[in-house]
Amino acid sequence: MTAEPVAAIVSLARGIAAESRYFPGALLSAFLLVPGVSAAADTSQGAQIAATCASCHDPTGRGQGIPPLTTLDEQTIVKRMRAFRASESPSHVMHAVALSLGDDELAAVARYLADSAYAGRQP
């Protein structure tokens, strides 16, 4: 396979990924078409914030001690982050992170993380 068709399909997948909250089924299909090819990272607000998550949470979900994010849906992420925001316990690290995110930022990163996990993509 030459680079150009792969790039084209990846580009297509990225375009769909940007709209994935509207067409989650289409996103999955796009990835199934190209086994073994992961999409490029993107520069959406959710992706930029999620880069911070990846400093501690192993995107493959293999890590020990620090819970993976790959199994969480959007609503669960928002709910847990609001709980972290409200209290220094059980984790002052997550309390600090949660306090640093506005509601719109939290929504963006939760959507991005949930979509990434759904697509089997590394955040």
Partner 1 sequence: MTGWTRRQIGGLAAGALVATAAPHIAHGRGRPRVVVVGGGIGGATVARYLADLETIDVTLIEPNPTHVTCFFSNLYLAGLRSLDSLTFDLRSLAERHRITFIRMRAVAIDPTARSVVLQDGARLGFDRLVVAPGIAFKLGEIGGYDEAAAEIMPHAWVAGPQSELLRRQLESMEDGGVFVIAAPANPFRCPPAPYERASLVAYYLKQFKPRSKVLILDAKDRFSGQELFQDAWSRHYPGMIEWLPVQFIGKTRAVDAATRSVVTEGETFKAAVANVIPPQKAGSIAERTGLTDATGWCPVDPLTFESTLQRGIHVVGDAIIGGDMPKSAFSANSQAKACCFAVAAALTGSPRFPPHLFNSCYTFLAPDDAFTNAITFAPKDGKIKTVKMFISKVGESAKVRRRLAHQAVGWYSAFTADVFGGVS
Residues 74 and 32 sit within 8 Å (Cβ to Cβ): no
Nearer to partner 1, 25 or 105 (CB): 105
Cβ partners under 8 Å of residue 81, min gap 6: 94, 97, 98, 101, 106, 110
Min dist. Cβ of residue 60 to partner 1 (A) = 8
Binding site for partner 1 (CB under 8 A): 2-4, 7, 10, 40-45, 48-49, 51-52, 54-60, 62-66, 88, 92-93, 95-97, 99-101
Nearer to partner 1, 8 or 32 (CB): 8
Minimum CB separation of residue 57 from partner 1 in Å reads 6
CB contact at 8 A, 105 and 45 = yes
Nearer to partner 1, 56 or 107 (CB): 56
Distance of alpha carbon 111 from alpha carbon 74, whole angstroms: 5
